[in-house]
Structure 1
Amino acid sequence: MAMFEVADAYISFMGRFSTPLAPLFADVGLAGVGASAAVLDVGCGPGMLTAELVRRQGAARVAAVDPVATFVAAAAAAHPDADVRRASAEDLPFPDESFDATLAQLVVHFMSDAPAGLAEMRRVTRPGGRVSACVWDHGGGTGPLSAFWRAVLAVDPTVTDEAALPGSNAGDLAALMVAAGLREVTEVPLTVTVPFATFDEWWEPYTFGVGTAGVAFDALSPEQQERVVDLLRTELGDGPFTMSATAWAGSGVR
């Protein structure tokens, strides 16, 4: 795929859920943070949360980082007045105490070292500032990919899903944040509901090979892939239908 095609594929796949999640998560991550506060989006992807932060704070007060060059290019193009850089959560390119709020939407479970990533988020946040993260409820079975993983595991029980990834179960994020030295830590569920006119509209992005789910589906044999689709169509019907997805959002004070 070309550079922006990669970002577009991700937006089609997960953006349909993470975009409506962004304002709910921003309410958590910006609680008690003023309109003139400087904020950082860690693991920004193509910029779904970045867009919400820019809308609330203004582009000049928003910074964003992601380790994937295609995502950085897409987010920077969409928000040219924001400070968008290529970097990992575990090695943020900012001085200590640079931001009033640091947020990571749907990225802790993909960090190579989640405790180190949260510690870095704490480092770049000013005393009294807020550090927040959210992860889909993969472990509890109410995430946006839960139906997919149930069908895949029914066809091939040896596949590794996302249920055990950091932050994917109730209480995970709160424990990680306390361990990172944050205070007054809370964790709440955030739920979005997305309508789909047809089964094919919902299913098509799974065929793009994007993310853990796309890679897992590509690794199945053609016969197994057909069985997965059959199981999902039986469960969901041809449409219209709605899909609800819940994320755990943790937040603490520096």
Structure 2
Amino acid sequence: MSFDVGADAYARFMGRYADPLAVRFADFAGVTDGAGGRVLDVGCGTGVLTAELARRVGEGRVAGIDPSASFVDAARGRLPGVDIRRGVGEDLPWPDATFDAALAQLVVHFLSDPAAGLAEMARVTRPGGTVAACVWDYAGGRAPLDTFWSAVRDMDPGARDESGLAGARAGHLAELLRRAGLDGVEQGELTVDVRYRSFDEWWEPYTLGVGPAGDHVRTLDAAGREELRRRCAQRLPSGPFTVDAVAWAARGTVRGATAD
């Protein structure tokens, strides 16, 4: 799937959801203003969550990693004081117990081995530290892309959407954290809402080739794209409207902490 696209394309597609989600997710993970400690952002992308973490604990206490070269370049330009590296979540280039918390926003469902990626996050987090992740509720029909995928299925009932991805259904993200060896796992919901001025403002980002949705649009010929656009337009108002989206979030504690 395509995430090796320009930072601007991602910002126009998912960034407007990721920005408010980052605030809620950092709160959920317990990364508070001035809390100190070192924090890792796994799958940092263009640096949306990274920037929020840096605002709370300082750039010098934050690190990030992402497989996309264009996203890494964008994040480094945005946050020159953050240690941002290119790599994958299943093989993190930091020693054991480097961080006090490791977070993954909208990433786990795209890992080749989600449980292994979460276990790696636990490895680089100190005993007693926090590992947290969030994924849109695709299976529950509350994700930002639900209107798009509903229209796709009308045209092609066999089309593969994102509802079957890891962490995208109730309880599965918490299950993955437990499988990765985390203790005290808790689950919650994070809700954001995004305002659009018009249907065209909503539709245009889907043509930029970002993620599974962008990949699907690329497979269509001109007539297919126009038909998909028409079906999406039937589901949404033409004038200003708001899209509400819900993400599953789960957090757990790394084993091995000693009592005071």
Q: Shorter-chain TM-score category? A: over 0.9
| Partner residue in 2 for 1:133 | 133
| Partner residue in 2 for 1:209 | 209
Alignment of 1:12 with 2:12, yes or no, is: yes
State the SS of the aligned residue for 2:100. strand
| Partner residue in 2 for 1:50 | 50
1:158 is displaced (CA, Å) by 2.1
Instruction: Give the TM-score taking structure 1 as reference length.
Output: 0.96
State the SS of the aligned residue for 2:160. coil
Native 8 Å contact 1:38 1:101 kept in 2: yes
- Please give the alpha-carbon distance, in whole angstroms, between the structure 1 residues aligned to 2:33 and 2:52: 14
State the SS of the aligned residue for 1:165. coil
1:221 is displaced (CA, Å) by 3.0
Superposition pairs of residues 99-138 of structure 1, within 5 angstroms: 99-138=99-138
Assess, with a 3 A threshold, how the Cα gap between structure 1 residues 66 and 206 changes in structure 2: closer, same or farther. Answer: same
Native 8 Å contact 2:105 2:135 kept in 1: yes
Q: Which amino acid aligns with 2:203?
A: W
Q: Which amino acid aligns with 1:23?
A: V
Name whichever of 23-32 and 230-239 sits farther off: 23-32
| Partner residue in 2 for 1:192 | 192
- Please give the alpha-carbon distance, in whole angstroms, between the structure 2 residues aligned to 1:136 and 1:5: 21
The percentage of aligned residue pairs carrying the same residue is 55
Q: Which amino acid aligns with 1:174?
A: A
1:53 is displaced (CA, Å) by 0.3
- Please give the alpha-carbon distance, in whole angstroms, between the structure 2 residues aligned to 1:177 and 1:5: 30
Q: Which amino acid aligns with 1:227?
A: E
Superposition pairs of residues 63-78 of structure 1, within 5 angstroms: 63-78=63-78
Structure 2: runs of 5+ lacking an equivalent: 255-260
| Partner residue in 2 for 1:21 | 21
1:193 is displaced (CA, Å) by 0.4
1:32 is displaced (CA, Å) by 7.6
Native 8 Å contact 2:33 2:57 kept in 1: no
State the SS of the aligned residue for 2:6. helix
Alignment of 1:164 with 2:149, yes or no, is: no
Structure 1: runs of 5+ lacking an equivalent: none
Query: Which has the larger share of helix?
Result: 1
Assess, with a 3 A threshold, how the Cα gap between structure 1 residues 208 and 5 changes in structure 2: closer, same or farther. Answer: same
Native 8 Å contact 2:33 2:56 kept in 1: no
Where does structure 1 differ by over 4 angstroms across 4 or more consecutive aligned residues? 31-34
Instruction: Give the TM-score taking structure 2 as reference length.
Output: 0.94
- Please give the alpha-carbon distance, in whole angstroms, between the structure 2 residues aligned to 1:152 and 1:243: 18
State the SS of the aligned residue for 1:185. strand
